[in-house]
Amino acid sequence: MRSLVLLLLFVVACRSDPAGEAVPAATASEVTTPLPKVTATPSASTTAALPPRDDWIEHALRTASAEDMGTWLSQSEALRIQLLVTVVQREGDPKAPRYRRLEEHGYRVDAEYLYPASAIKTFIAVAALRYLRAIAREQDIKIDQNTRFMRCKTAAGKCEVPEADEDPDEDDDEDEEKLRVGREVRKLLGYSDNDAYDRLYDLLGHRALNEAMGQMGFESVRFHHRLSTTSMRRTTRRVLILPWGSRAIRNPPRVSDYVMPPTFAAKTLVGEGYRDARGIQEKPMDFGEKNYASLYDLHRITIGLVAPELAPGIDMGLSSDDLQVLLSPMTGRLLPGSRGATHKPMLPGLREVIDVTRLRYTNKAGRAYGFHIDNAYVEDEPSGKGFFVTAAIYANPNGILNDDDYAYNDLSAPFLAAVGEALAKKVFGNIAPPKKR
């Protein structure tokens, strides 16, 4: 794999920038330094490590109580149903656990393109924390998840933040306009905030973000665009990084010329038509230039965060503190109606099989354009038995994309709930039936 080196330049700003930017704790000098280099680790083949298709998952799914499961499975190609499951056993000290892989099974893994929607946010969150750690190491300064940064509306002059970065509910506007990286990661992974995604997109830049994917070992992943806007796909704003007690670092506006290899997935033309500003276009939507992560790489990043010893070929370069920042919002609370529970689509099915107060449910789900994905680790904490699962389905009966008429409630949500129920039965058995309501 070719060497991947990040070439962006940092300009260090002082307390009174000649262009009028107000930045804290800086010295009266201005220098340029290269972006820290990160050693690339070749990834495993995106197909060599896939488990062979077997009947384990299909047999498990047919035990679910959902009456439509047989119909869904008979239409698995049209619905783009894909699943990858790794069953594990947690061992040793719970504060420093080790995991043993018991078995792994696949069902139509990466048979065709899947739009990852918000499930891709785990990758950008990891890249942001990894990026800060690399700067701290190369420049020997204190930068961590509490480090602040600012996005600027203009390319030069005083840094005025975009409206999306202002918090009208805060009295101390000047303080609030300086974002914290860890806070954005928590919003991104805890309740899938699209503005947080766009802020980290600006922090990293299109080229650096995509190069980081290959460096970490996720060669399928493609970041083509933002999530809260269709504009500024390759353009990123001027950004100030504000290390405490050190000179401020300024990333200039960037326009990426980075050309990615084509998305290798099959069937990137999706649907029968789509709506745009001109009306309904009677042709499939081309997802070849939209974000992408293979089911395999989605599965691997969750394993890499929870049980890194089971994920050879991944080099995320994170500390234990970084992992806590990532995993805490992904885990959340399972109480009915809680914000965390609303982003855990397998939870209704899990509740049918096991007392959920016993469960750890760490995930990042996503849904858009009719695609619905859950990428999760579910564990019965008292016994230590658990499973990683990446499950996806396409729920768009009318075939028209971008019309906000998808079958999430009638198709994809019941399917993912049934996946949770079926896997809980298969892996946990009758270990702790739910309390009668």
Give the C-alpha separation, 178 to 188, whole Å: 17
Within a domain: 182: yes
Q: Does residue 365 surpass a pLDDT of 60?
A: yes
Q: What is the pLDDT of residue 100?
A: 97
pLDDT tens, position by position, 64-80: 999 999 999 999 999 99
Q: Does residue 433 surpass a pLDDT of 90?
A: no
Q: What is the pLDDT of residue 10?
A: 34
Confirm if 258 and 207 have CB atoms less than 8 A apart.
yes
Structure tokens at 66: 């959902």
Mean pLDDT value of segment 195-207: 95
Give the C-alpha separation, 420 to 329, whole Å: 20
Are 23 and 156 within one domain? yes
Are 24 and 152 within one domain? yes
Q: What is the pLDDT of residue 321?
A: 94
Are 227 and 296 within one domain? no
Q: Which of 88, 129, 86 is nearest to 109 (CA)?
A: 86
Confirm if 301 and 218 have CB atoms less than 8 A apart.
yes
Give the C-alpha separation, 273 to 287, whole Å: 13
Beta bridge partners of 372: 367, 393
The percent of residues in the chain predicted with pLDDT above 90, rounded, is 72
Question: Would you place residue 29 in the very low, low, confident or very high pLDDT band (cuts 50, 70, 90)?
Answer: very low
Question: Would you place residue 12 in the very low, low, confident or very high pLDDT band (cuts 50, 70, 90)?
Answer: very low
By the 10 Å C-beta count (0-12 exposed, 13-18 middle, 19+ buried), 73 is classed as middle
Are 14 and 148 within one domain? yes
Within a domain: 161: yes
Q: Which residue has the higher pLDDT, 432 or 287?
A: 287
Within a domain: 49: no
Within a domain: 236: yes
Within a domain: 48: no
Give the C-alpha separation, 204 to 192, whole Å: 18
Mean pLDDT value of segment 370-380: 98
Question: Would you place residue 352 in the very low, low, confident or very high pLDDT band (cuts 50, 70, 90)?
Answer: very high
Q: What is the pLDDT of residue 177?
A: 61
Distance of CA 123 to the CA centre of its chain: 5
Q: What is the pLDDT of residue 246?
A: 86
Single residue among 187, 220, 255 that ends a domain in this structure: 255
Give the C-alpha separation, 80 to 295, whole Å: 12
Instruction: Give the residue numbers spanning the domain of 364.
Output: 56-117+268-274+281-428
Q: Which residue is associated with the tokens 């745009």?
A: 276
CATH label of the domain that carries residue 328: 3.40.710
170-174, 191-195, 279-283, 370-374: range with lowest mean pLDDT: 170-174
pLDDT tens, position by position, 246-302: 889 999 999 999 998 889 999 999 999 999 999 999 999 999 999 999 999 999 999
Q: Which of 358, 369, 359 is nearest to 287 (CA)?
A: 369
Are 184 and 290 within one domain? no
Q: What is the pLDDT of residue 176?
A: 52
Are 155 and 205 within one domain? yes
Are 23 and 130 within one domain? yes
Task: Reduce the DSSP state of residue 16 to 3 states and report it.
Answer: strand
Q: Does residue 206 surpass a pLDDT of 90?
A: yes
Q: What is the pLDDT of residue 45?
A: 41
Within a domain: 133: yes
Quote the pTM value.
Answer: 0.87
Domain count, the chain: 2
What is the DSSP track for 59-121?
HHHTTSS-TTHHHHHHTTTTTT-EEEEEEEEEES-TTS-EEEEEEEEEESTTSS----GGGGH
Question: Would you place residue 8 in the very low, low, confident or very high pLDDT band (cuts 50, 70, 90)?
Answer: very low
CA atoms within 13 A on the CB side of 129: 26
What residue type is assigned to position 103 of the chain?
E
Calculate the average pLDDT of the chain: 86
Question: Would you place residue 18 in the very low, low, confident or very high pLDDT band (cuts 50, 70, 90)?
Answer: very low
Q: What is the pLDDT of residue 436?
A: 67
Mean pLDDT value of segment 418-437: 89
Residue partners of 261: CB distance under 8 A and separation at least 6 = none
Q: What is the pLDDT of residue 272?
A: 97
Q: What is the pLDDT of residue 334?
A: 82
Are 187 and 328 within one domain? no
Buried b (16+ CB within 10 A) or exposed e, 82-103: bbbbbbbebeeeeeeeebeeee
Neighbours of 281 (CB within 10 A): 15
Q: What is the pLDDT of residue 171?
A: 47
Rg (CA), the chain: 22
Question: Would you place residue 431 in the very low, low, confident or very high pLDDT band (cuts 50, 70, 90)?
Answer: confident
Within a domain: 198: yes
Are 342 and 362 within one domain? yes
Neighbours of 357 (CB within 10 A): 11
Q: Does residue 34 surpass a pLDDT of 60?
A: no
Mean pLDDT value of segment 320-339: 87
Within a domain: 240: yes
Question: Would you place residue 33 in the very low, low, confident or very high pLDDT band (cuts 50, 70, 90)?
Answer: very low
* C-alpha distance from residue 119 to each of 86, 148, 233, 377, 425 (Å): 18, 25, 19, 14, 25
Residue partners of 31: CB distance under 8 A and separation at least 6 = 11, 12
Are 182 and 210 within one domain? yes
Are 131 and 111 within one domain? no
Q: Does residue 14 surpass a pLDDT of 50?
A: no
Are 148 and 29 within one domain? yes
What residue type is assigned to position 225 of the chain?
H
Element (H, E) at 385: strand 385-394
1-10, 134-143, 227-236, 340-349: range with lowest mean pLDDT: 1-10
Q: Does residue 24 surpass a pLDDT of 50?
A: no
Single residue among 255, 290, 317 that ends a domain in this structure: 255
Compute the Cα dihedral for 135, 141, 145, 149 and give only its sign: negative
